[in-house]
């Protein structure tokens, strides 16, 4: 029941506002490691080159005393945040458990009680009459979702969180933190190697509340950067804005023009530097209203895989018990209710609205006199967004700050907003935003034969999807083809690239090390296998036959070779991973053959998934965007 309800909540949240899409950058599809698994212990200066522990480094003789401290500015929900009671104790729900970030939901039973109390009666009446009289069902569903999902994180009209919600703050370097805090940080942003190479005293992690005030956050961030710079061997710091951290960096640069005095390099990773249209479109236009996307794409895309591959299409079929007009009314009202009053004063959310969507969205939700304080703040941020390139250029020209960008592309945005299929992106953020202005075709599109490159053919990827030359810093922007935003941190090459940019002052452009880190690279999800590899290598293979032991050793060597190869061959990597898994199973005495029960379960799941998909497709061909009762209006 709990898992099912959690899925429904996640679906509704994605449908309504897209916040669940802004998942932590580094959440991997591979199994996570236990604390400390795969983490190489710290080494002294010189051992890096001597022992070859980090063959991917472009400067193998890293000297921590010549390296600037690094400040990570993480993405949405990548800061440990808690709900507190008025007396300062951590708040517990009715089951005696700590409320979980980011929304601090009540217990499952309490949510069910609230939903049944508010929505069951109107739902039954609507199902019986196929009409939502006075929009009661839509209003009650919207209010229930608003209170459940955002009731504990909403802000007042001065931008202050009404409840006692606070992020754990790390006011000093990572070396000073507890092991639990370190484990949290490295799970969010896997820069373990960087900390091992230069020492944890050279790494800082900026923690903030994702439902917070953009001006207060920018000022806190500035203070931490200054502190890190003053403690740095070079007197400067490198900063790493990631995802939502990119939007926060816009505000930081606008409010603190002298930032460059303390900055050596800015290394953006999949930054929302011009927000995400998933949020912007919803704020301006509401949830997607294209019938094909609503009844064909949206829910199966958001709910896929796992033990219930049929669930997405089943939900789509069930939704047709409501007339299309009622369903769209519920979604539209849910959006309006979630934003006003629950999200309208959360300025970090406004910071994720693209500059092109902001004027209409602000006119829609921030038009009352009581909104004046927030409107002034979001207007100022909007200006910072419009001036983002000028503000970065000012730091480059005035203080010599070096700026780099790492982005993903060729993944459809989630189908919850009107622009989802029109733009290239990484699933969460459109490429124009993350790449700082590169031109691209839609996913798998090809530039026309008569297309004139902005700066020449060298900036066109081999698929002819992207013209990097149109971007703001074309010589300092790296692209990863088919990489999903949510698993960016699980691509070890992206993390290795960032580490090299942090530790090698000679790494200046995409042409510095093209054989190791080309401008255009490929996706891979390696976090799980990297975490497991040390324990795999330590396995007892003495009981294997000589041939099987040789195969095991060869598979390990093959996997290590792939991990040491920073020019990604996705197919070769996946084959190496599958081959190693097969050898591990053999060493563990696990048969490659499935048990009869698992075979039956898989076949049943596949059959049900196929049936649900065919049924959903059949209903779409007949009904298009209609509910079951709407069919009578077709004749």
Quick one: which of 95, 4, 617 has its CA closest to 306? 4
Reported confidence tier of residue 400, pLDDT bands at 50, 70, 90:
very high
pLDDT: which is higher, 175 or 298: 175
pLDDT digits (tens, 9 = 90+) for 551-602: 999 999 999 999 999 999 999 999 999 999 999 998 888 766 666 777 788 8
Beta-carbon count within 10 A of 592 CB: 8
Alpha carbon 230 to its chain centroid, in Å, reads 31
Position 208 in a domain:
yes
**Burial class of 379 by CB neighbour count within 10 A (0 to 12, 13 to 18, 19+):** middle
Q: Is the pLDDT of residue 187 over 60?
A: yes
- The answer to whether the beta carbons of residues 76 and 24 sit under 8 Å apart is yes
Is it the case that residue 289 has pLDDT exceeding 90?
no
Distances (CA, A) of 35 to 168, 490, 491: 19, 16, 19
- 206 contacts 121 by C-beta, under 8 angstroms: no
Tallying the residues shown for the chain, one arrives at: 635
Distance CA 176, CA 393 (A): 35
Question: Is residue 390 one of the residues assigned to a domain?
Answer: yes
Exposed, middle or buried by CB within 10 Å (0-12, 13-18, 19+), for 87?
exposed
- Per-residue pLDDT, 10: 39
- What percent of the chain lies above the pLDDT cut of 90? 72
Q: For the residues 621-627, what does the mean pLDDT come to?
A: 90
pLDDT in tens, 481-507: 999 999 999 999 999 999 999 999 999
Q: What angle do CA 208, 210, 213 make, to 5 degrees?
A: 80
Compute the mean pLDDT over every residue in the chain, rounded to the nearest whole number: 89
Q: Assess whether pLDDT exceeds 80 at residue 7.
A: no
Mean pLDDT (whole number) for 206-219? 95
Long-range pairs, 3-6, Cβ under 8 A, ≥24 = 5/108, 5/111, 5/112, 6/108
The total domain count for the chain is 1
As a whole number of angstroms, the distance between CA 425 and CA 431 comes to 5
User: Of 24-38, 75-89, 115-129, 395-409, where does the model show the most confidence?
Assistant: 395-409
Q: What is the pLDDT of residues 62-95, one digit of tens each?
A: 999 999 999 999 999 999 999 999 999 999 998 8
40 pLDDT more than 50 = no
Residue 6, domain extent: 1-26+63-437
Residue 83 within a domain: yes
Q: What's the CA gap between 417 and 275, in Å, rounded?
A: 14
Q: How far is CA 138 from CA 12, 126, 328, 630, in A?
A: 13, 10, 9, 18
d(CA 185, CA 342): 29
- Domain assignment present for 626: no
Query: By the 8 A CB rule, do 267 and 233 touch?
Result: no
Per the domain annotation, does 188 fall within a domain?
yes
DSSP β-bridge partners for residue 439:
467
Question: Would residue 546 count as lying in a domain?
Answer: no
Backbone angles phi, psi at 241, to 5 degrees: -75, 125
Contact in structure between 168 and 127 (CB atoms under 8 Å): no
pLDDT at 268 over 50: yes
Strand, helix or coil for residue 205: strand
Q: For residues 95 and 107, give the distance between their C-alpha atoms in angstroms, rounded to a whole number.
A: 7
| Span 213-239, average pLDDT | 97
Contact between 288 and 418 (Cβ < 8 Å): yes
Phi, psi of 251 (to 5 degrees): -70, -40
In a domain, 313, yes or no: yes
Q: What is the pLDDT of residues 406-458, one digit of tens each?
A: 999 999 999 988 888 899 999 999 999 999 999 999 999 999 999 999 999 99
Residues contacting residue 322 through CB under 8 Å, at least 6 positions apart: 126, 127, 330, 627
State how far Cα 283 lies from the chain centre.
19
Q: What span, in angstroms and rounded, lies between the C-alpha atoms of 398 and 395?
A: 5
Q: Which residues pair with 415 in a beta bridge?
A: none
Q: What is the pLDDT of residue 594?
A: 63
CA dist 118 → 121, 139, 148 (Å):
7, 10, 12
CA gap 568, 560 in Å, rounded? 13
- Looking at residue 305, its pLDDT comes to 66
Residue 509 counted as domain residue? no
In terms of DSSP bridges, do strands 69-73 and 203-205 run parallel, antiparallel, or are they unpaired?
parallel
Cβ neighbours of 84 (radius 10 Å): 14
């Amino acid at each position: 029941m709990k898992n099912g309800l959690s899925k429904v909540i996640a679906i509704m949240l994605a449908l309504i506002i897209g916040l669940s899409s802004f998942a932590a950058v580094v959440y991997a599809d591979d199994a996570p490691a236990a604390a400390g698994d795969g983490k190489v212990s710290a080494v002294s200066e010189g051992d890096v080159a001597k022992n070859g522990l980090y063959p991917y480094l472009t400067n193998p003789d890293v000297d921590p005393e010549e390296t600037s401290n690094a400040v990570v500015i993480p993405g949405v929900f990548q800061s440990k945040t808690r709900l507190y009671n008025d007396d300062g104790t951590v708040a517990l729900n009715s089951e005696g458990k700590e409320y979980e970030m980011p929304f601090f939901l009540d217990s499952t039973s309490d949510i069910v009680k609230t939903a049944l109390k508010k929505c069951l009666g109107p739902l039954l009446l609507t199902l019986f009459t196929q009409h939502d009289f006075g929009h009661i069902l839509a209003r009650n569903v919207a209010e229930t979702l608003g209170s459940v999902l955002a009731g504990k994180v909403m802000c007042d009209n001065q931008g202050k969180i009404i409840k006692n919600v606070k992020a754990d703050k790390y006011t000093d370097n990572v070396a000073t933190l507890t092991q639990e805090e370190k484990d949290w940080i490295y799970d969010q942003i896997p820069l373990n190697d960087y900390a091992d190479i230069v020492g944890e005293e050279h790494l800082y992690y900026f923690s903030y509340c994702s439902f917070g005030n953009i001006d207060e956050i920018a000022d806190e961030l500035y203070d931490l950067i200054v502190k890190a710079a003053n403690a740095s061997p070079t007197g400067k710091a490198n900063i790493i804005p990631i995802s939502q951290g990119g939007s926060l960096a816009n505000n930081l640069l606008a409010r603190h023009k002298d930032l460059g005095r303390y900055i050596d390099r800015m290394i953006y990773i999949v930054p929302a530097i011009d927000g995400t249209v998933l949020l912007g479109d919803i704020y301006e236009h509401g949830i997607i209203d294209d019938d094909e996307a609503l009844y064909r794409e949206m829910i199966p895309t958001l709910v896929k895989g796992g033990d219930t591959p049929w669930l997405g299409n089943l939900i789509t079929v069930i939704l047709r018990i409501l007339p299309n007009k009622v369903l769209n009314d519920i979604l539209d009202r849910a959006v309006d209710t979630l934003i006003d009053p629950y999200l309208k004063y959360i300025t970090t959310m406004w910071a994720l609205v693209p500059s092109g969507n902001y004027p209409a969205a602000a006119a829609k939700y921030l038009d009352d006199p009581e909104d004046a304080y927030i409107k002034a703040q979001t207007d100022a941020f909007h200006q910072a967004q419009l001036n983002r390139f000028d503000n970065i250029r000012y730091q480059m020209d005035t203080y010599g700050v070096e700026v780099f960008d790492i982005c993903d592309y060729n993944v459809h945005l989630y189908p919850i907003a009107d622009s989802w299929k029109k733009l290239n992106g990484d699933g969460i953020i459109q490429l124009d935003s993350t790449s700082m202005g590169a031109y691209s075709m839609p996913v798998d599109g090809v530039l026309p034969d008569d297309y004139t490159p902005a700066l020449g053919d060298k900036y066109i990827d081999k698929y002819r999807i992207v013209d990097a030359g149109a971007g703001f810093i074309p010589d300092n922007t790296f692209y990863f083809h088919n990489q999903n935003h949510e698993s960016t941190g699980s691509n070890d090459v992206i993390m290795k690239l960032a580490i090299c940019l942090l530790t090698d002052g000679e790494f200046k452009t995409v042409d510095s090390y093209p054989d190791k880190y080309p401008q255009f690279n490929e996706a891979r999800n390696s976090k799980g296998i990297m975490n497991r590899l040390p324990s795999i290598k330590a396995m007892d293979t003495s009981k294997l036959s000589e041939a099987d032991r040789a195969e095991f050793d060869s598979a390990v060597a093959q996997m290590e070779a792939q991990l040491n190869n920073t020019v990604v061959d996705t197919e070769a990597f996946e084959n190496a991973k599958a081959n190693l898994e097969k050898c591990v199973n053999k060493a563990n005495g696990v048969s490659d053959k499935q048990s009869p029960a698992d075979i039956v379960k898989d076949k049943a799941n596949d059959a049900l998934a196929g049936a649900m998909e065919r049924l959903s497709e059949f209903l779409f061909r007949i009904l298009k965007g209609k509910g079951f009762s709407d069919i009578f209006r077709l004749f």
